[in-house]
Amino acid sequence: MKIAILSDPSLISQIESKEGAKSKESKETTENIQDDDSKPPIVRLQNALRDFENKISFIAPKFEALTELQQNSFDLILNTTNKFSTHNRPAQHIGLLELTRIPFCGSQMDSVTICKNKPFFKSLLQLNSIATPKFQILKIQGGKIPKIRKDFNFPLILKFYHAGIHTQSILDKIITNLDELQENLKSHLKKSRTYVALAEEYIRGRKIYLPILGNELNGNIHFLPAIETMHSEEDELQARLQSNSNEEERKFLELTDPLVKRARKIAIKAYNFFNCHDYAMVVFILDKKTNNLLLHEINPITSLLSDGKIAIAAEHLGISYSELINDIILSTLLRYDVKLKGKYAKRFKSINKE
């Protein structure tokens, strides 16, 4: 197949640097490099796709991307961008992929829009009786600050939104009391008299990442081992604001763990309700005081690179990176009802025999 990888320009430059280095090396040296797991994650992704005899092109998320995708007759698009490489507008870039009418891995624009609009997402969880940390959506209109709910337990995490998009120019804040919350809301009025803020209780407890793969219509939804992130108590609150970090200590929770069984039931319900496709990361918090399992977020654009949590969980289960990526692509092809060819057809037969 001819696959386009939508990727951050900084990652594409790593590929170009690697290709330039290879042209100066002997064939023997090149083969040794390809066996080295220390190579950049984007290079490992390229090699994994080439394992299944795919032809790869890299495209940056820019205005010309739509034309590039449409003019090159791609069979599939793999999106590796995130909220940072898309200037905090991942859903709009996925909308661009939908315009191409080319099959692409991952959830569609409407699902990503909802999951990344935290106030809307949490409201839907509440309406569907899915437990989530206590919150309040603060709609500031005409400079008027609404009443704050009285049953909040501090500290809170305060986030600002504009038109449903998380405002990155204003850092998320840790709020320790009611006066501090009101002061922060008033302070923001200097920049905008109409905005939305999300105040959410910080829950002290265990944070658990549960990777989910597959599609409801294909009947192939399954899970990888859950990952619990470990922080010291003094670092835990600040770490909650930096959920994109891959530097924290990890502990794997096996699929047979009773806590994981609880999480799986909630994850499937939410994954299907939000119409997620192919892969996502479902994040839970286990309340230290009440032992309640709270759904914190679903990330339908979680990293598929080899240093991301999905790949790390797969490796723990003994699944190679190449197998993981190409099985996700296989799931996408089945969802689009594409006729399977070559190694994907062989892989599908192999899976059905198991």
The CATH code for residues 205-319 is: 3.30.470.20
pLDDT band at 87 (very low <50, low <70, confident <90, very high): low
pLDDT band at 33 (very low <50, low <70, confident <90, very high): very low
Determine the pLDDT at residue 300. 96
DSSP 278-343: EEEEEEEEEETTT--EEEEEEETT---STTSHHHHHHHHTT--HHHHHHHHHHHHHHHTTPPP-HH
Q: For residue 88, how many C-alpha atoms fall within 13 Å in the half-sphere facing its CB?
A: 12
**Whose structure tokens read 């794997």?**
252
Determine the pLDDT at residue 215. 96
DSSP 95-108: HHHHHHT--BSS--
Angle, nearest 10°, between helix axes 118-127 and 109-116?
90
Lowest mean pLDDT among 2-6, 227-231, 291-295: 227-231
182 φ, ψ to 5°? -65, -35
The pTM of the full predicted model, rounded to 2 decimals, is 0.90
- What value does the mean pLDDT take over residues 155-174? 85
Nearest CA among 232, 166, 173 for reference residue 204: 232
- Number of helices and strands in the chain (H, E): 13, 14
Lowest mean pLDDT among 16-25, 157-166, 312-321: 16-25
Lowest mean pLDDT among 78-87, 96-105, 155-164: 78-87
- What is the per-residue pLDDT across 184-216, written as a single tens digit (0 to 9) for each? 998 888 777 778 999 999 999 999 999 999 999
Using DSSP's 3-state secondary structure scheme, residue 173 falls into strand
Determine the pLDDT at residue 194. 78
Above 60 in pLDDT, residue 34? no
Return d(Cα 303, Cα 290) in angstroms, integer. 31
Determine the pLDDT at residue 30. 43
Average confidence score pLDDT of the chain:
88
Domain layout of the chain by residue ranges: 2-104, 134-201, 205-319
Return d(Cα 307, Cα 299) in angstroms, integer. 16
Above 50 in pLDDT, residue 345? yes
